[in-house]
Amino acid sequence: MAMSDRGPTAVPAAGASPARRLFGTDGVRGVANVHPMTAEIALQLGRALAYHVRSGPHRHRIVIGKDTRLSGYMLEQAIASGICSMGVDVRLCGPLPTPGIAFITQSMRADAGVVISASHNPYQDNGIKFFSRDGFKLPDEVEAEIERLVLGAPGEEEGAEDFRALRPTAKLIGKAKRIDDAIGRYVVFLKSLFPRELTLDDLTIAVDCAHGAAYKVAPAVFEELGAKVVALAVKPNGENINDACGAVHPEHMARAVAKSGANLGLALDGDADRVILADEHGNVVDGDAIMAIVARDMLRRGALAQHALVATVMSNVGLERAIAPLGGRVVRTQVGDRYVVEEMRRSGHNFGGEQSGHLVFLDHVTTGDGVCAALNVIAVMLREQKPLSELARCFEPVPQAQVNVAVREKRPLDGLPGVASAIADVERALGGDGRVLVRFSGTENKARVLVEGADAKVIQAHADRIAEELRKALA
Catalytic residue numbers, as ranges: 119
Q: For residue 273, which phi and psi values (nearest 5 degrees)?
A: -95, 0
Q: Peptide bond before 325: cis, by omega within 30 degrees of 0?
A: no
Strands (E), 209-273: 228-232, 264-268
For residue 79, give the nearest of 35, 121, 49 by alpha carbon.
Answer: 49
Beta-carbon neighbour count of residue 431 at 10 Å? 9
- Report, in angstroms and rounded to the nearest whole number, the Rg of the chain calculated over CA atoms: 22
Alpha-carbon distance 361 to 369, whole Å? 8
Strands (E), 269-336: 275-278, 284-285, 308-312, 329-333
Alpha-carbon distance 115 to 101, whole Å? 7
Query: Between β-strands 112-116 and 176-178, what pairing exists: parallel, antiparallel or unpaired?
Result: unpaired
Query: Between β-strands 351-353 and 308-312, what pairing exists: parallel, antiparallel or unpaired?
Result: parallel
Alpha-carbon distance 468 to 425, whole Å? 14
